[in-house]
Amino acid sequence: MSAKDASDAEHGQITTLNEPVIIPRSEHGISRSQFSPNALKVLYRLKDGGYEAYLVGGCVRDLLLGLQPKDFDVVTNATPEQVKKLFRNCRLIGRRFRLAHIVFGREVIEVATMRGHHGDGGGKNNVSHASEHGQLLRDNVYGTIDEDAERRDFTINALYYSIKDFCIYDYANGVKAIKNRRIELIGDPETRYREDPVRMLRAIRFATKLDMSISPATAKPIKKLADLLSNIPPARLFEECLKLFLSGKAEANFKALREFGLFKHLFPALDKILDANPDSMQERFIIQMFINTDTRINNDKKVTPAFIFAALLWFPLLQRCQELMQREQLPHFDALAAAMNQVLSESAQQVAVPKRFTLGARDIWHIQHRFDKRGGQRAYRLSQQPRFKAAYDFMLLLVDSGQDDLKELCDWWTAYLNADVNGQKMMVKSLGGTSRGSGRPRRRRSGGSKRKGDKAAGESS
């Protein structure tokens, strides 16, 4: 880095990168046979249309690491409108930065126009706007591949595979960072985080996903700037939470979020409870939930976000319910219903969970308070509820985490689910009057006489 670059970095400006290291096909080992056929179609059509076209970022990085990429992203010097003219199956998205999505059935190839430096706004393609905190709100500034590389966030993502000569262009010593297993921001970290605070979450996610460490310079500003996440739309933070918690590295991500002070800006109510109760049943519950989530994902089993968010908001829900019962003298059922509405509404100010998942979370919560009502047909009817299995797993998780008062009830339901129909009937019958909510006594009809059907039922019982 030159003296000027060092000065720029000190004052929070993005440094200028050196000339790229060009790695020929014979040295990098990446083959076109490893690419998505649809990505190749996009690359070649852009090339044949007279434009530059490169695979960029995560797909190149993952191939160098010996991983199979989930997505193949393309960068080009064609504008989004020019890309749309080349592809009938193209749709343009985004306001902060316009992108082209080329749709091939269920696969989408994302095509971005090379980004440039922010100027004085004099040109029609030089449109950018930042908030008072330095966050980029609109970023449709187009440029060259050299400029685009400087605009990339991490060095491991400033890697370009050219369809023209099959070389990799490494602008930020990304290959070296991969070998050293280091996550490093390009430019001044504080400035880059202010431009897009989500980069703090991405740094953690990349570190855990790729089994790398975050470099000291990249890690240092995170705690100080963590509150900038409050400027990010809650819907975008929901998408980032899905990436953090459904990647098979949820436990490691949770611990890193707590360590860097980011978790409290995603789930403040739970973070406060965990801070007040270190090494508690609550913390064991959350950690075990994430361990179980990772196990299921790594075994290719289904995980619903409804379960994860039900767990993350469970202890704030119980706390709020207790407060409402004490402060407003509400009965438990009414307090629980009001607490659900309040906790979900407050949480949505940080992370906007879609209704289809909050409805699932509500069902899981409701069933927790119905497990002890087993008399008559109630146990059978409850076991037929769509969310019953998730709610049962939730109760198992509570017991495994140390909630001993539920163990007897949990053992009963485990035995019930493993029994045949006759065994289930005997288990319910043996409850007698010990099961709360086992059914109200029938009211006699006025007039003192029973109908024939009622009498027959009574005689046969």
**pLDDT score recorded for residue 141:** 80
Q: Give catalytic status of residue 71 as yes or no.
A: yes
Please tell me the predicted confidence (pLDDT) of residue 95: 73
d(CA 107, CA 52): 22
Whether the model pTM is above 0.85: no
Of 8, 139, 153, 372, the active-site residue reads 153
Fold exhibited by the domain 3-231: Beta Polymerase; domain 2 (3.30.460)
CATH superfamily entry for domain 268-431: cca-adding enzyme, domain 2 (1.10.3090.10)
Q: Which two tokens stand for residue 433?
A: 């009057």
Give 31-38's long-range contacts (Cβ < 8 A, gap of 24+). Answer: 32/166, 34/63, 34/68, 35/59, 35/72, 36/72, 36/107, 36/109, 38/72, 38/102, 38/104, 38/107, 38/109
461 residues of the chain, pLDDT tens digit each? 333 343 333 333 333 467 899 999 999 989 999 999 999 999 999 999 999 999 999 999 999 999 999 899 999 999 999 999 999 999 999 876 789 999 999 999 999 999 887 554 444 444 444 455 545 444 568 889 999 998 899 999 999 999 999 999 999 999 999 999 999 999 999 999 999 999 999 999 999 999 999 999 999 999 999 999 999 999 999 999 999 999 999 999 999 999 999 999 999 999 999 999 888 999 999 999 999 999 999 999 999 999 999 999 999 999 999 999 999 999 999 999 999 999 999 999 999 999 999 999 999 999 999 999 999 999 999 999 999 999 999 999 999 999 999 999 999 999 999 999 999 999 999 997 555 544 444 444 444 444 444 433 333 33
- How distant, in Å, are the alpha carbons of 18, 36, 196 from that of 53? 21, 15, 26
Question: Would residue 153 show up in a list of annotated catalytic residues for this protein?
Answer: yes
Task: Write down the pLDDT at residue 435.
Answer: 54
Whole-number pLDDT of residue 14: 36
Among residues 71, 146, 334, 393, the one annotated as catalytic is 71
Which residue ranges make up each domain of the chain? 3-231, 268-431
Burial-class residue 39 by CB neighbours within 10 Å (0-12, 13-18, 19+): buried
Among the listed residues 8, 62, 73, 148, the single catalytic one is: 73
Answer yes or no: 73 catalytic: yes
